[in-house]
Amino acid sequence: MSYVYGLVDINNAYCSCETLFDPKLKGRPLVVLSSSQGCIVARSPEAKALGLKMSTPYFQVKDFFEANGGVWRPSNFALYLDLTQRFEDIIADMVPHYSRYSIDECFIWLPSCVGDTIAYGQQIRNRIAKFIGLGVGIGFGPTRTLSKLANLKAKSTPSTGGVVDLSDTEQRREFMAITPVSEVWGIGRQLTAKLEAQGIMTAADLAAADPKTLQRRYGVVVERTAQELNGIPCLGLEDQIRAKQQIIVSRTFGERITDRVAMKQAISNFMEQAAQKLRAERQCARHISLHIATSRFGNQPYYANQTSTRLVVPTNDTRALLGLISPLLDGIWQEGHRYSKAGVMLTDFSSVEHQQGDLFAAEPQDPRRAALMQVVDSINSKGRFGKLFFGATGGLKHDWDVKRESLSPRYTTNLADLPKART
């Protein structure tokens, strides 16, 4: 069976979440800063129009930005995670096949006989807007790469109404001809420079390039990306490599999980994978989230829940992250359910080169921890000596502080943060 792929992406997610409960921010230049309030991690359209770039240290642009009416907020991941989980719940309710790609993006796939994808996409947009209040862009195409490209057009071209389908060959050829190659999913800054040096300036140029030459010069992922631009599905989610603002490892189980021990093992396995990806990005995470869910389809009652915690000191140490699972899982686990899905999400990143220790920590940070993780990653990446795993994962085989003075309230997760009516 052939499929139409879609990407549903929240517009300016962090800024939109902030504006949702503070209407005074609407229309103003707004940036969200990292937990140390050092770097820009999200920008409103008005902030983008002022030329502010992602990851820029805020002190470098503070005077200019605030002189132009700019406002900043610290990252409020408790709020963002709750709202984006509600976003995923709506997707799950309307689409039988989906995969969460990031905190604010979900891939969906539909049988090619679904009919009018534009109308279907508008139904999804309207429901998300009605029940959550967030705007989304939706792109459809015969491949994931093309759905990403369609999403770009949907969000950058207001006349589309927020939904674009690039299944039509001529339509996508026209759009790819005016789309810089840097906008193609998986083509980062370094690859862009290499491709442009060879005269590959647009997405259309990449699609027209010789596949064998692409593979020889840039690797199999770039070659497959070009194939996807031509409407040939050949990339999975794990094939795309990019610097991330969050890392998600989430799976649907082959067999339902009813036992807490088995669930802990599954989540531990996901956490181990997430930690390894985090170290590969040379990042540490401060905010850790778990989620579990039963299937929405069938006769069993539906149950889904998530929980999260914020660390005083960010980490990428697998052992430290595994130690968080049991107390977090205790808060959301319910007996009597047949769980079909679980996952972990790591967010609020900071570079390993800019870590500060906690003066009040019970134990000082041991430099040998990083060395140990490096050895584990090296052995596992080479594969010659098998795989090292942590006991909490159950082995290889399985059956299945932010500065708070400007922090926006956690409206959806903390009753004390709800506004009080004046009499």
Q: Which residues contact 254 (CB under 8 A, 6 or more apart)?
A: 400
Last residue within a domain, chosen from 239, 268, 296: 239
Q: With respect to residue 346, please indicate whether it lies within any of the assigned structural domains.
A: yes
Q: With respect to residue 405, please indicate whether it lies within any of the assigned structural domains.
A: no
22-59 tens-digit pLDDT? 999 999 999 999 765 578 989 999 999 999 998 888 98
- End-to-end CA separation in angstroms for the chain: 61
Q: What is the mean pLDDT of residues 185-206?
A: 92
Using the predicted structure, report yes or no on whether residue 187 has a pLDDT greater than 80. Answer: yes
pLDDT at 370: 64
Shared domain for 369 and 278, answered yes or no, is yes
Q: What is the mean pLDDT of residues 317-327?
A: 93
Shared domain for 298 and 195, answered yes or no, is no
Q: With respect to residue 122, please indicate whether it lies within any of the assigned structural domains.
A: yes
Q: With respect to residue 328, please indicate whether it lies within any of the assigned structural domains.
A: yes
pLDDT at 141: 94
* Count of structural domains, the chain: 3
Write out the two tokens for 128: 């998300």
pLDDT at 37: 55
Tokens 């807007």 -> residue: 129
Give every strand in the sheet of 3-10, ordered side by side: 98-102, 105-111, 3-10, 136-141, 163-165
359: confidence class by pLDDT, cuts 50, 70, 90 = very low
Write out the two tokens for 191: 């690859």
pLDDT at 380: 59
Instruction: Work out whether strand 339-351 and strand 283-294 pair parallel, antiparallel, or are unpaired.
Output: antiparallel
Give burial (CB, 10 Å; 0-12/13-18/19+) of 352: middle
pLDDT at 44: 95
Last residue within a domain, chosen from 181, 208, 239: 239
Shared domain for 305 and 386, answered yes or no, is yes
Q: With respect to residue 407, please indicate whether it lies within any of the assigned structural domains.
A: no
Shared domain for 127 and 183, answered yes or no, is yes
Of the ranges 1-5, 53-57, 152-156, 384-388, which is most confident? 152-156
**Average confidence score pLDDT of the chain:** 84
Q: With respect to residue 423, please indicate whether it lies within any of the assigned structural domains.
A: no
Shared domain for 224 and 331, answered yes or no, is no
381: confidence class by pLDDT, cuts 50, 70, 90 = low
253-284 tens-digit pLDDT? 878 899 999 999 999 989 998 998 888 888 89
CATH classification of the domain holding 282: 3.30.1490.100
Shared domain for 70 and 146, answered yes or no, is no
The H-or-E segment that residue 140 falls in is strand 136-141
Shared domain for 113 and 184, answered yes or no, is yes
pLDDT at 404: 47
Q: What is the mean pLDDT of residues 92-104?
A: 84
Q: What is the mean pLDDT of residues 103-123?
A: 87
Give burial (CB, 10 Å; 0-12/13-18/19+) of 338: middle
3-state secondary structure 175-214: HHHCCEHHHCCCCCHHHHHHHHHCCCCEHHHHHHCCHHHH
Write out the two tokens for 226: 């070009």
Q: What is the mean pLDDT of residues 347-357?
A: 71
CATH classification of the domain holding 55: 3.40.1170.60
Instruction: Name beta bridge partners: 313.
Output: none
d(CA 117, CA 134): 20
pLDDT at 384: 43
Using the predicted structure, report yes or no on whether residue 242 has a pLDDT greater than 50. Answer: no
Shared domain for 69 and 123, answered yes or no, is no
CATH classification of the domain holding 169: 1.10.150.20
Using the predicted structure, report yes or no on whether residue 402 has a pLDDT greater than 50. Answer: no
By mean pLDDT, which of 107-121, 124-138, 165-179 is the weakest? 107-121
- Domain membership of residue 196 as a residue range: 3-9+98-239
Torsion of CA 190, 195, 201, 206, to 10 degrees: -120
Q: Are 149 and 175 in contact (CB under 8 A)?
A: yes
Higher pLDDT, 86 or 391: 86
pLDDT at 324: 95
Q: With respect to residue 85, please indicate whether it lies within any of the assigned structural domains.
A: no
Q: With respect to residue 418, please indicate whether it lies within any of the assigned structural domains.
A: no
Q: Are 302 and 338 in contact (CB under 8 A)?
A: no
Write out the two tokens for 187: 């083509």
Instruction: Work out whether strand 163-165 and strand 283-294 pair parallel, antiparallel, or are unpaired.
Output: unpaired
Using the predicted structure, report yes or no on whether residue 252 has a pLDDT greater than 70. Answer: yes
Shared domain for 277 and 371, answered yes or no, is yes
pLDDT at 401: 41
Shared domain for 144 and 204, answered yes or no, is yes
Give Cα separations from 335 to 234, 258, 290, 323, 338 (angstroms): 40, 7, 17, 22, 9
Shared domain for 370 and 264, answered yes or no, is yes
Q: Are 31 and 40 in contact (CB under 8 A)?
A: yes
Shared domain for 279 and 193, answered yes or no, is no
